[in-house]
Amino acid sequence: MDHYEVIERALIHIEDRLDQSLSLDSLANSFNISKFYFHRLFSAIMGCSLNQYILSRRLNASLPLIQAGRTSLTDIAYQLNFGTPSSFTRAFNRQYGVAPSSLKAHHPTILPVPIPSIVRRPIKNINGDVVADFTLMEIPPIRLSGIVFEVDLAADYETTIRSHSNMLLQEVDSSVQGPCYVVYSNCQPDSTRFNVLFGIPQDIRIEKPFYFTVDVPQLFCAKFTYSGGLLEIGEVLKTDYARFLKISRQETDDSHIELIQRFDDVHNLGSTYHIYAPIKKLPIDSDEE
């Protein structure tokens, strides 16, 4: 059983027992894994702690019970193994921004969500810490020709990127093969809006608004690899990157480029892709060159 299968089975195990006491010890024993390794594995793959995950799933399970209106909030709290009704109310308010009583009183419906899918990416063990596998590397300067637009990561950014990628491919020869890049840049503090370039490493000229040729400078980066949708990794990437910075003792670079995605096949944006995050090159690296 690989580590993805362990966590996938653990998620089902948890979902089937939300009305029971769930502990790290009991879950680790269910899969014959050390509790310390299981805790680190779960946190690394899911991007949150085991306790945070169980709490969020119990709150999720409370939604249809509240909206059905046949069970009191006190009974729901005890049924889902919350210590007290007040702890249930506080947790619900933190997660959904409203009190459960407001939901019961015909507040706009909050829909429950299915068990989350697991973001697949290589992981490795560094001094007992499980982290997303990474490579420190220099990416050379590259000239990209493509379309520039803006996305909001708090909105439907994936559809926006896909539509603009289709617009670019309609302008180039259908025989174009090879990689493509999505470059995120110039995000302002406390903002979710980015400038985005979707481009290919070929020198093409398109005489239309918002089509440009851009030179991406040489960057020292941490490279991560993911499988799945265009950028369906959400909080997991944030957690992976934060864990990487902590363990590797690296620092983010002050480049205006925030992130680069590289897809091996410009015609398949659902394939495995690489993410390059610019970081500062430590002095020791310069001395070794």
Residue 128 is assigned to a structural domain of this protein: no
Asked whether residue 124 is domain-assigned, the answer is no
**144, 274: one domain:** yes
Domain that holds residue 34: 3-116
By the 8 A CB rule, do 183 and 197 touch? yes
Pair 69, 179 in one domain: no
- Residue 218 domain-assigned (yes or no): yes
Is 245 within the bounds of a domain? yes
The residue among 223, 224, 229, 225 whose CA lies nearest residue 271 is: 229
- Given this model, what pLDDT does residue 69 score? 84
CA distance 6 to 66: 32
Same domain, 143 and 269: yes
Q: What is the pLDDT of residue 74?
A: 95
Are residues 275 and 153 part of one domain?
yes
> Both 95 and 145 in a single domain?
no
Query: Does residue 22 form part of some domain?
Result: yes
Tokens 């769930």 locate to 22
Please tell me whether the overall predicted TM-score, pTM, comes out greater than 0.75 for this model.
no
Same domain, 100 and 186: no
Assigned domain for 122 exists: no
Per the domain annotation, does 130 fall within a domain?
no
Query: Are residues 191 and 90 part of one domain?
Result: no
Strand 211-216 relative to strand 193-200, pairing: unpaired
The pLDDT of residue 245: 84
Assign residue 35 the CATH number of its domain.
Answer: 1.10.10.60
CATH number at residue 253: 3.20.80.10
- Domain closes at, from 65, 87, 116: 116
The reported pLDDT for the residue numbered 108 is 64
Instruction: Provide the residue-wise pLDDT of the chain in tens; the chain has 289 residues.
Output: 678 889 999 999 999 999 999 999 999 999 999 998 899 889 888 878 899 999 999 999 999 999 888 899 999 999 999 989 999 999 999 999 888 988 866 656 788 999 988 877 888 777 777 778 888 999 999 999 999 998 887 777 778 888 888 888 888 777 778 888 999 888 777 777 888 999 999 878 888 888 889 999 999 999 988 876 555 555 677 778 888 888 778 888 888 898 898 988 887 777 778 889 999 876 654 444 4
Give the angle 187-189-194 at the CA atoms, nearest 5°. 15
Is 72 buried (19+), middle (13-18) or exposed (0-12) by CB count in 10 A? Answer: middle
**Does 28 lie in the same domain as 102?**
yes
What's residue 284's pLDDT?
53
Question: Are 69 and 192 in the same domain?
Answer: no
Residue 234 has a pLDDT of: 59
- Are both 246 and 283 inside the same structural domain? yes
Query: How many domains, in total, are found in the chain?
Result: 2
Same domain, 83 and 144: no
Query: Does 258 lie in the same domain as 186?
Result: yes
**Are 223 and 135 in contact, with CB atoms under 8 Å apart?**
yes
Asked if residue 53 belongs to a domain, the reply is: yes
